[in-house]
Amino acid sequence: MKTRLVVCVGLLAACQAEDSPAPSTALTHEQLLDPLTCAVCHQKHYDEWASSMHAYAADDPIFLAMNRRGQREAGIGDFCVQCHAPMALRTGATQDGLNLDSVPQSLKGVTCYFCHSVDAVEGTHNNPLRLASDDVLRGPLSDPLPSSAHRSQYSRLHDRDQLDSASLCGSCHDIQNGHGTHIERTFAEWQESVFAEPGIGTTCGQCHMDQSVDLEPVASVPGAPARRLHSHRFPAVDLPIDREPDEVTRQAVQSFLDTSLQSALCVRGLSAQDAQIQLVLDNVAAGHRWPSGSAQDRRAWVELAAYAQGSAFYQSGVVPAGSSVTGLLDPDLWLIRDCMFDAAGNETHGFWAATDYESNLLPGQLTFDSSDPRYYQSHVLQRYPRDLGPLALYPERVTAQVWLQPIGLDVFDELVDSGDLVDTDRYTVAELRARLQPLAVGAAIEWTPETANERFVEAGLPVACVSATNLSAAADKVPAVNHTRCRP
């Protein structure tokens, strides 16, 4: 404790502005590598980062197990750690991630030093970021407060209000494997969307780094001016599974899920002889396709039920607790994900083996102009039953709920079966699996004849719809893409 106190006192001295008495030495390169050093002057930023998936990237049990399997089956080398532990790789502390248990925690994950030392982006995928060797920490402030702790510099790459900044984030969130298969495409998806257009677009940081409402100092040093801070939680859809996430992080993820999609639920027809359910989903808020990232491991689906005479007579997407959605024998299941295939055409969960993929992710927005036909290409229509046959009864009530499981239980169970995901002194496999609960994407939507707030005619039959988000089901739509090569 005494040693730690001495270090902290020294670092606090180094954080003083240059017009204060200067310490005998500034922070060393080794100190700058350690996020705990940053915490002394930037406690709020550190606490947010420490709760994020960036900090967790090299400790995630799924990542560790997937890396072990990839090394054993395909010798993937530094493929995973170049993004999950970039400073451990660049300092030589690891070469393949198999020894991460013995690597200093200061080098694990996507660290403060890694992001704030980037001075150039030299590609579009697989972490092509160039780090400066000058120990200058770069950020979004055009007038950083001079400090003897470290030198600071403005960078457009770190300014969330500049489109350039998307390349810093995006080039790590865009992955091609050794076969050239584009297995993660978040950056490419953003680039093809309206959100990448100058003047009207939205950057990664503007969505995933909330700006504070109140002004406060960036650093806890004398004379630091009050500014708008940017959150370093980087919420998206993933949560840690070897620990309970803090409630603020959980709520931040839920907020993303609750605001990503619009929906409209309809019943077409007049009687059981011609009744059909229609569901429209619109990826209105994600600046890329939905769900994005490692969509080959994610499982997003619709649970839908129709009721008459007090009971459900039609259901789709109802997953028993603890079961994998991919195990359902449900011809009408709307499962939204990527499927990867190896050279023999077999579905694989090993990204290193993928030579092809099939995707039905919800498209991102292409324009904000409702008079442009492309505006409606994100309005995706699914019909129930899928074979377009009539329902057994005319429904008195219909409910629909979208669910998302960031890691599919089928992927998890395969890693257990392969012996790559095992009990440790930090967790048991059973504990991890129990935390892989599906997350609700927005509130459930419910249709009844009385609550239907939009009516129109389609192919000579009346259609009655309800939407809690003012999505017009009568507007142009595109049919849902359903998987043909993988189950379901």
Residues 258 and 223 in one domain: no
Q: Of 227, 261, 296, which residue constitutes the final position of a domain?
A: 227
* 178's tokens: 């050794």
Question: Could you tell me which residues are beta bridge partners of residue 147?
Answer: 17
pLDDT of residue 164: 93
| pLDDT of residue 17 exceeding 50 | no
Domain containing 209: what range? Answer: 2-14+23-57+110-227
Q: What is the pLDDT of residues 222-251, one digit of tens each?
A: 889 999 999 999 999 999 999 899 999 999
pLDDT above 50 for 407: yes
Q: How confident is the model at residue 389 (pLDDT cuts 50, 70, 90)?
A: confident
Average pLDDT over residues 58-79: 98
Task: Please report, rounded to a whole number, the percentage of residues in the chain having pLDDT higher than 70.
Answer: 95
Q: End of a domain among 196, 227, 258?
A: 227
pLDDT of residue 148 exceeding 90, the answer is no
On whether residue 331 sits in a domain, the answer given is yes
Q: Please check the confidence at residue 332 and state whether its pLDDT lies above 70.
A: yes
- If one counts every other C-beta atom within 10 angstroms of the C-beta of residue 357, the result is 20
**C-alpha torsion 187→39→7→85, nearest 10:** -20
Mark whether 216 and 362 lie in a shared domain. Answer: no
pLDDT recorded at residue 8: 45
Q: Is residue 348 part of a domain?
A: yes
Q: How many domains does the chain have?
A: 2
Taking the CA of residue 141 as centre, how many other CA atoms within 13 Å lie in the half-sphere pointing to its CB? 19
Residue 102 domain-assigned?
no
pLDDT one-digit tens code per residue, 38-67: 999 999 999 999 999 999 999 999 999 999
- Whether 120 is in a domain gets the answer yes
Q: Do residues 203 and 279 share a domain?
A: no
- Degrees to nearest 5, angle at CA 287 with 53 and 189: 90
For residues 204 and 264, membership in a common domain is answered with no
Whether residue 370 is predicted with pLDDT greater than 80 in this model: the reply is: yes
Within a domain: residue 403?
yes
Lowest mean pLDDT among 25-39, 178-192, 394-408: 25-39
Residues 43 and 185 in one domain: yes
Say if residue 189 is in the same domain as residue 323.
no
Q: Are residues 208 and 252 in the same domain?
A: no
Is the predicted pLDDT of residue 12 greater than 70, yes or no?
Answer: no
Residues 453 and 327 in one domain: yes
Residues 38 and 174 in one domain: yes
pLDDT of residue 272 exceeding 50 = yes
Check pLDDT > 80 for residue 2: no
Whether the predicted pLDDT of 268 surpasses 50: yes
Stretch 4-22: mean pLDDT: 42
* pLDDT, greater one: 196 or 487: 196
pTM: 0.93
Question: 218 with 348, same domain?
Answer: no
Query: 98 in a domain, yes or no?
Result: no
Question: Is residue 5 very low, low, confident or very high in pLDDT (cuts 50, 70, 90)?
Answer: very low
Cα 286–Cα 288–Cα 293 angle in degrees, nearest 5: 100
Residue 463 lies in a domain: yes
Query: What is the structure's pLDDT at 78?
Result: 98
pLDDT value for 200: 93
Q: What span, in angstroms and rounded, lies between the C-alpha atoms of 308 and 473?
A: 23
Q: Is the pLDDT of residue 123 over 80?
A: yes
Q: Are residues 320 and 412 in the same domain?
A: yes
408 and 352 in one domain? yes
- Strand pairing category for 335-336 and 379-384: unpaired
- Domain stops at, among 197, 227, 257: 227
Amino acid 468: pLDDT: 87
Secondary structure E strands in 299-366:
299-308, 311-316, 335-336, 338-341, 347-348, 356-359
pLDDT at 488: 63
Q: Is the pLDDT of residue 337 over 70?
A: yes
Strands (E), 165-323: 174-176, 182-185, 216-217, 226-227, 261-268, 276-283, 299-308, 311-316
Please indicate, yes or no, if residue 103 is contained in any of the structural domains.
Answer: no
Residue with tokens 């197990």, as numbered in its chain: 65
pLDDT at 297 over 50: yes
Cβ neighbors of 112 (< 8 A, separation 6 or more) are: 35, 38, 45, 46, 49, 137
